[in-house]
Amino acid sequence: MRNLPVANAGLARSICAGDPTTLGGTPTATGGSGNYSYLWTPSLGLDDATKDKPVATPAGNTTFQVYVTDINSGCVSTPSSVVVTVNPLPTLTSTLTPPAICSGVVFSYAPASGTAGTSFAWNRATVAGITPVGTTGSGNPNEALTNSTTGPLTVHYIYTLTANSCTNPTTYMWQYS
């Protein structure tokens, strides 16, 4: 009688959309002769479904299973499963094309996202001819900028949206006359 190998797919984990994660326990297999081959299913989203610790980049929530075969005996383990939860990157759903803003007028922008629990941090770099100098904040900038030049200037706000430990920095531009 030969001993079955024991598979260990590892612990459940959460990742952000587009991020990779390495599957497999520590170790991925035990028992048997110690000489193993691996088969992970589904293979979609894996860099190599025959590695002991494949890198997974699933498009959505996925339960992966690993089967371990003892190469010497041909015995196959019962499968071990791991759940990978894929959290979406938060995105702005509020309008991104406000009209030009006159110098000295308060700029107010209420950011919104379709991802529940999103926080909004912003950063505005210093622009020559615009006062006050660059600054950072959260939520609505709600600030009056003054253009000391004779022509319009473009100001960039970089919003960093965070939800479920996922961040998504995005740049938006407004023009001050």
Task: Locate the domains of the chain by residue range.
Answer: 6-87, 106-176
Q: Which CATH architecture has domain 6-87?
A: Sandwich (2.60)
The whole-number pLDDT of residue 89 equals: 94
Please check whether residue 114 is in contact with residue 105, taking contact to mean a CB–CB distance below 8 angstroms: no
As a whole-number percent, the residues of the chain with pLDDT over 90 amount to 75
Rounded to whole angstroms, the Cα distance separating 82 from 113 reads 30
**pLDDT above 90 for 156:** no
Average pLDDT, the chain: 92
Q: Render the burial of 40-73: b for 16+ CB within 10 Å, e for the rest.
A: beeeebbeebebbbbebbbeeebebebbbbbeee
The top-scoring range by mean pLDDT among 15-19, 107-111, 171-175 is 15-19
CA distance 9 to 51: 12
- DSSP H helices in 107-174: none
Alpha carbon distance 72, 85 (integer Å): 35
> What's this model's pTM, rounded to 2 decimal places?
0.81
Q: How far apart are CA 5 and CA 26, in angstroms?
A: 14
37-52 pLDDT per residue, tens = 999 999 999 999 999 9
Cα three-residue angle 69-72-76, rounded to 5 degrees: 20
CA distances from 174 to 50, 126, 156 (A): 51, 14, 6
